[in-house]
Amino acid sequence: MTDEAPPRPPAKPGPDALPPAPADAAHHGADHAAGRKAPDPPRATPAAELLARWADNLAHERRLSPHTLDGYLREVRFFLTFLAGHLDRPVDAAALAALDVRDFRAYLARRRADGLSPTSTARAISVLKTFFAHLARCDGVTNSAIAIVRAPRTPRRLPRPLSESGAEDLLETVPQTEDLDWVGARDTAILLLLYGCGLRIAEALSLRRADAPLGPTLRVTGKGGKQRLVPVLPVVAQAVDAYVARCPHALDGDGPLFVGKRGGALGPRPVQAAVAEARRLLGLPASATPHALRHSFASHLLQNGGDLRTIQDLLGHASLASTQVYTRVDAARLAEVYDQAHPRAR
């Protein structure tokens, strides 16, 4: 009799075991040597790891804004949570590759039952297609069924710009909603960047102290890290100078240009709240938001003879179709004026 245990048979590979190395392992080795990371075998990769890789790609390569990134990740997390219950098993790469149209339709049915609007449903489908395109490109996880899923048709909402007088009234009223003079000057400068230069609020808040004083042009970093040059009106530069002169906090050259009441980086909510209060005082519609000033910038340029290509460049639109929507706004305004003024329209 001996104390040694009898030899154990070789263990069978579990469900999470890596598959055998492919015959073209040398090719994969060459990829590693060239600095390219070969995708992990789909069966061995849990969905959480795939999601983390996608999040890193969105943040560092596509350079999405934190707000957009959060929305994308929230939608896919909801999808993965649904799948875990729908499939009644943990979701991994193999499960994602095996999904068929019925699985995607079941998810959309769940979202509609939760009250998701057609517009939000279309956005959810777009996010999922972006996720699966990344899986196919970077992780070797392909699913052809997602391409068959169609978004519901939704009417395209027209931008709702302010009238010229409405924009001026808003700009004059916003500083009156603040007790601190420098905060009113700050909000005025930000809103003038939106209305006078066509910036998005995130673009205005991303400016650095070193950008001021503003010159005749301003280099703006927009969506996807794309840069554009916009002209700066004297009234905009003067408003920024007035804010800098009144700001009680030390503004470091590498730090943000616009700061909050405690001196930290400013987010959009305080500006949105100031506009909401001014809107209430003026009796303006709920569509009178900071972003409406960017719409007003484009619409008023078009009404006063600006051409679409120039406006496209100033707004930073990748496609002219995004800018052409303002021609429909202008046509709608002309029709309204016509209906009000022409004798036969009464």
Asked if 338 is an active-site residue, the reply is: no
Judge whether 249 counts as a catalytic residue: no
The reply to whether 326 belongs to the active site is yes
Q: What is the dihedral of CA 165, 171, 175, 178, to 10 degrees?
A: 90
CA 146 – CA 333 distance, rounded (Å): 40
Please give the Cα distance from 346 to 342 (Å, whole number). Answer: 7
List the catalytic residue out of 291, 295, 309, 328: 291
User: Is 317 a residue of the active site?
Assistant: yes
Q: Measured between alpha carbons, how far is 43 from 19 in angstroms, rounded to an integer?
A: 8
Chain-centre distance of CA 287, in angstroms? 19
Instruction: Give the burial class of 88: count Cβ atoms within 10 A of its Cβ; 0-12 exposed, 13-18 middle, 19 or more buried.
Output: exposed
Active-site pick, 111, 186, 300, 317: 317
User: Which residue, among 212, 207, 219, 196, has the nearest Cα to 258 in the 3D structure?
Assistant: 207
Half-sphere exposure of 116 (CA within 13 A, CB side): 20
Say which of 134, 200, 279, 300 is annotated catalytic. 200
**Which of 53, 294, 295, 300 is an active site residue?**
294
- φ, ψ for residue 198 (rounded to 5)? 75, 25
* Paired residues of 208 in beta bridges: 256
Q: How many other C-beta atoms are found inside a 10 Å radius of the C-beta of residue 289?
A: 21
Annotated catalytic residue, options 72, 107, 243, 326? 326
Catalytic residue among 43, 123, 160, 223: 223
Q: What is the DSSP letter of 208?
A: B
Contact 276, 177 (CB under 8 A): no
300 is annotated as an active-site residue: no
Active site residue 186: no
Alpha carbon 5 to its chain centroid, in Å, reads: 62
The catalytic residue positions are 200, 223, 291, 294, 317, 326
